[in-house]
Structure 1
């Protein structure tokens, strides 16, 4: 072990830190606003030191000009933001599912502060976002993030051109899949709301004198939340399986 770092080693560490820091800035749980910046920077530095012996061979040599150095650093930061944005975008499936469940149970006006988003959301949506973040760490899915960081140096090597076209296609597909998954996760409540509203309308037609709204509103909330609670286990399992499949896209580069 050398007691000092050479200029090439400092340059390689800066490149790795640029990508790792950008990814950790966007990751669910780690990149939230309530996490102190010192914690995130310290974690990025530790991960950089851990990955340097593994990925240093894929890094370009030290450029001769300051402009070239800045260009490489900016490129690595952009790559890190791209990867982190994809991993964060998929968590919007839980937000979509929470909004749909809130609409179907007449709780869409129950707004609360969502610590995982920049704006308030429905209570159910905030609950599902926190549940998803908890499942990510409880199932050790964050280990796939570390493997994905290593694999990203094979999928998006610094010495190769930036694959903006492939990333755009993957981003569009990820957003589409996340919205579809959000609808699928809320499907039990959607089916219940459809049947319940049809039954309420039928009762209103058969018994015009009966105050359907006053009886159906609280009953719909109670039964809707009950169906949501019963499907919560399947909801979490399906989400974490799909999220792990997305993380393995980047982690596959490390395994190959």
Structure 2
């Protein structure tokens, strides 16, 4: 190996690859199950090589023992998985919004394969998850991911102690914010459903002989989807703004 790279260089590259590979395994878009593993592996190698001149100063020296090497590699893998999990957890806001909209429009029985969650889900939830991934790349939010890879070495430097308490706090806050955002994104449909159900109940009380369910079921689907379609632009804008704010937490480490 000395003809191509020194032991220190191989160690630095492997340590960078441990963190970068773990992050790329989980972030939205690149870390999906339908992306071929060779593509993710190749991208992780290329990004690791590109970041090596930038972050090599923050890396520890080559340990003298095998146990020390394994410990450093495991630490970097854990850090990468934590960062990737936080970035992926926030996308559950769209799944939550889709499930709520499906329930309010009586379309929760319409199940389809969700490629971003590798499990069945409602059709609207799968659509919103795909929309969110498309917006991430269409708005160049994935550039923040790349900047966040560099910023993570300032925010969570290998030479510093692992801030597990801060990670746990960030993960809990992110999950809470994602659920709250999911409810907020589906708020127009929730308001419509409340008003529509109240109106249907009043009609049923005033006209007991009228088949309310027969007329209300198709109207609930049509009007509910219409409200959802009208609010789709605002939904996407709010989500991507909040998601970019989350990604800037890791980018901010480069400037701090």
- TM over 0.5, yes or no? yes
Counterpart Cα distance in 1 of 2:108 and 2:223? 16
Could you report, residue by residue, the CA deviation over 1:210-254 in whole angstroms, capped at 9, with x for unpaired residues? Answer: 000000000000000000000000000000000000000000111
Counterpart Cα distance in 2 of 1:27 and 1:134? 13
SS in 2 for 1:109: coil
Please state how far the C-alpha of 1:3 moved relative to its aligned partner. 6.3
The equivalences for 1:170-209 within 5 A come to 170-209=170-209
Counterpart Cα distance in 2 of 1:104 and 1:33? 30
Counterpart Cα distance in 2 of 1:107 and 1:6? 60
- The equivalent residue for 1:147 is 147
Which aligned segments of 4 or more residues in structure 1 are displaced greater than 3 angstroms?
none
Please state how far the C-alpha of 1:119 moved relative to its aligned partner. 1.3
The equivalences for 1:107-146 within 5 A come to 107-146=107-146
Could you report, residue by residue, the CA deviation over 1:69-89 in whole angstroms, capped at 9, with x for unpaired residues? Answer: 011001100000000000000
The equivalences for 1:43-62 within 5 A come to 43-62=43-62
TM-score normalised over the length of structure 2: 0.99
The equivalences for 1:74-85 within 5 A come to 74-85=74-85
Counterpart Cα distance in 2 of 1:85 and 1:122? 23
- The equivalent residue for 1:41 is 41
Please state how far the C-alpha of 1:4 moved relative to its aligned partner. 1.8
Counterpart Cα distance in 2 of 1:149 and 1:252? 11
Counterpart Cα distance in 2 of 1:77 and 1:218? 51
Q: Please, what is the CA RMSD of the aligned residues? A: 0.9
Counterpart Cα distance in 1 of 2:51 and 2:245? 23
Counterpart Cα distance in 2 of 1:211 and 1:195? 19
Counterpart Cα distance in 2 of 1:7 and 1:68? 15
SS in 2 for 1:113: strand
Q: How many residues align?
A: 255
Counterpart Cα distance in 2 of 1:3 and 1:64? 22
Gaps of 5+ in 2: none
Counterpart Cα distance in 1 of 2:137 and 2:119? 24
- The equivalent residue for 2:5 is 5
The equivalences for 1:61-100 within 5 A come to 61-100=61-100
Gaps of 5+ in 1: none
